[in-house]
Amino acid sequence: MPKGLNQRQAAFAELLVQGLAASQAYRKAGYSAEGKSADEAASRLSRHVKVKEYIDEMREEAKGDAIYTSKELQKDLTTMMKSALADEDRTGFSALATQLCKIQGLYQKETVDVNLNSGGVLVMPMAGSIEEWNGNQAGEDQKRLMDDAVDV
C-alpha cells in the first residue's frame, strides 16, 4: 500500500485507474454514500493530494506498459481512413472517422450529411462549418481535412 494512504483510499485510486466512475469506485472501495453525496465525496477524495499522486503514478506506469499507444492508434486509424477514402468505402471511412474523433475528444452526436462526387452520402461527426462540406467540393474537402487535421 502506498505510503500516506489507507486501504480504502488506495483501493479507490486503483479502481479509478481501472476505469470505474468516481462514485462507483468510492462505494466499491468501501465508503458509504449514495447519489449526489457519493459524487461529491468521490470528487473530494480524487483531489486529495496523496490519492492524486498515487493515481498519477499508476497512470504514468500504465503508459510505459501500453502495448499500443493512443498516438499509434490515431496514426493507424488515419492511414486506414485514407485508404477507405481512396477506395470510396464510405461506410468504413465514416466508422474510422468516428473512432478517431472519439479518441481525440472531438466526437459530437450531431451529424452532417455530405454528398460525395460519386452520388453517395457520407454521415460523419460535424467538423467545422457546414459551408466547408458543400456540393461539388465534398470529396476534395474530405481529403484536405484528412491531410491537415490528423497528422500524428
pLDDT at residue 50 in the model: 94
The C-alpha cell of 36 is what? 449526489
The closest of 99, 95, 130 to 112, measured between CA atoms, is 130
Mean pLDDT in order along the chain per 10 residues (152 residues): 89 90 91 86 92 90 73 88 88 86 70 53 48 47 55 45
**Cell 449526489 sits at which residue?**
36
Domain residue spans of the chain: 7-65, 70-149
The closest of 40, 41, 56, 57 to 8, measured between CA atoms, is 41
DSSP, residue by residue, 57-114: HHHHHHHHH-SS-HHHHHHHHHHHHHHHHHTT-HHHHHHHHHHHHHHTT---S-EEEE
Q: How many CA atoms lie within 13 A of 46 on its CB side?
A: 17
Helix 7-17 vs helix 35-47: crossing angle, to nearest 10:
90
pLDDT at residue 28 in the model: 93
Helix 90-103 vs helix 70-86: crossing angle, to nearest 10:
160
Q: Name the 3-class secondary structure at 29.
A: coil
The closest of 139, 77, 72, 147 to 107, measured between CA atoms, is 77
* pTM (2 d.p.): 0.45
Residue 25 gets the label, from left (phi > 0), alpha (psi -120 to 50) or beta, of alpha
